[in-house]
Amino acid sequence: MKAVLALADGRIFMGKAFGATGETSGEVVFNTAMSGYQEVLTDPSYKGQMVTMTYTQIGNTGINPEDIESNQLYLSGFIVREYLDCYSNWRATMSLDAYLKEHGVVGIQGIDTRALTRHLRDKGAQNGIISTIDFDPESLVKKARAIPSMSGLDLATGVTCAAPYHWTEGLWDLESGYPQVDRKDLKYKVVAYDFGIKLNILRCLVSAGCDVTVVPATFPAEAALAMNPDGIFLSNGPGDPEPMKEVIENIKQFVGKKPIFGICLGHQLLGLALGGRTIKLKFGNHGSNLPVMDMATRKVEITAQNHGFSVDILSLSHACKLGHENLNDQTVEGMGHKELPIFSVQHHPEASPGPHDSHYLFDRFVEMMEKFKK
């Protein structure tokens, strides 16, 4: 079946449909990961976006029930060069096409993703629309231009959990899968704010010795402090951090009272709570092969990333120092408070999909909580 991708600036790409049929819209971004498309599909941080995979062949490992980062698909559309319906993997139970159909996600294949990626790099990430029912370029471009900009959108409160819950599942093991850990064996009580949290982040926290209670995005700080946690975790999530005023005020109440660790959107919200500002990047950083330097050790890590906004470290010079730097575009990849037990990173140390170079950050959080207890 024929499908069309139209960008707001008028660029048109003709291709073939796969996954669900119909019409969908969102901000078009590109992801440079060569594998891990299933984790990309289930990452809540992609809500409101249509993801272009720069790797040429997608679908060849199928879909399995274990490699998910949430229980549903949040992205608006999926764009690939070549979809492979014939999959081969010992854990796979269904094809990517069937998976997208099951979750109602529209996909387009057969377009020049290299040309699309270069266009987005030159012109910037922008809104677009995929359609299998309307093939009129003028009509599609008009609809794409009517889509709200990602700037100013609070999407995190739309993907957060409805009520608090405990998490006790650890990291995956080849022999036994995901282990359930006895809470009696977990030393550090952590309240994790869910702004679109990825499951592997929770597993990493548990495997580091944390007894995790996950709470909704707007869960009152007073109620969280009443749990007497050893630390506060601020998760990843979609959208612009600046409109999340209630959340930012909440975070301010933890400063100086508990150790805080933030990832991705949590990192940005923490920057705003500490008096800084954030900026919208031209095309963002999305992939699992992006180099970052830990400024404390000067070691370079290959990281997984998914963000369209960045913290302006100069606006936080009164409180924080640069912790990590992106070696591709020199944007802020992490920061640490000059006096308080607070640090955060823009990239994803849980690395699912991606490398494990940054796993040590969960141990750093545990060490921080242990020191604060003494």
- Binding site, annotated residues: 45, 237, 239, 265, 268, 306, 308-309
Instruction: Based on the residue annotation, tell me whether 210 is a catalytic residue of this protein.
Output: no
Task: Identify the active-site residue in 119, 264, 325, 337.
Answer: 264
Closest C-alpha among 106, 46, 104, 52 to residue 81 = 52
Tokens representing residue 99 in the block? 């998976």
Q: Catalytic: 264?
A: yes
Residue 8: CA count within 13 A, CB half-sphere: 18
Q: Exposed/middle/buried for 223, CB within 10 Å: 0-12, 13-18, 19+?
A: exposed
Helices marked H in the chain: 37-41, 96-103, 113-123, 137-145, 199-207, 221-226, 245-252, 265-273, 360-373
Helix, strand, coil distribution of the chain in percent, nearest 5: 25, 35, 40
Active-site entry in 27, 39, 69, 350: 350
Per the annotation, the verdict on 350 as an active-site residue is yes
Ordered DSSP codes for 317-337: TTTEEEEEEETTT--EEEEEE
Q: Which residue is listed with tokens 């949430």?
A: 70
Distance (Å, rounded) from C-alpha 228 to C-alpha 258?
9
DSSP-assigned beta bridge partners for residue 211 = 189
Q: Which residues contact 355 (CB under 8 A, 6 or more apart)?
A: 288, 289, 301, 302, 303, 304
The catalytically annotated residue of 286, 324, 347, 348 is 348
User: CB atoms < 10 A from the CB of 301, how many?
Assistant: 23
316 secondary structure, DSSP code? G
**Calpha distance 305→350 (Å, rounded):** 10
Residues annotated in a binding site for L-glutamine: 45, 237, 239, 265, 268, 306, 308-309
Residues carrying an active site annotation: 264, 348, 350
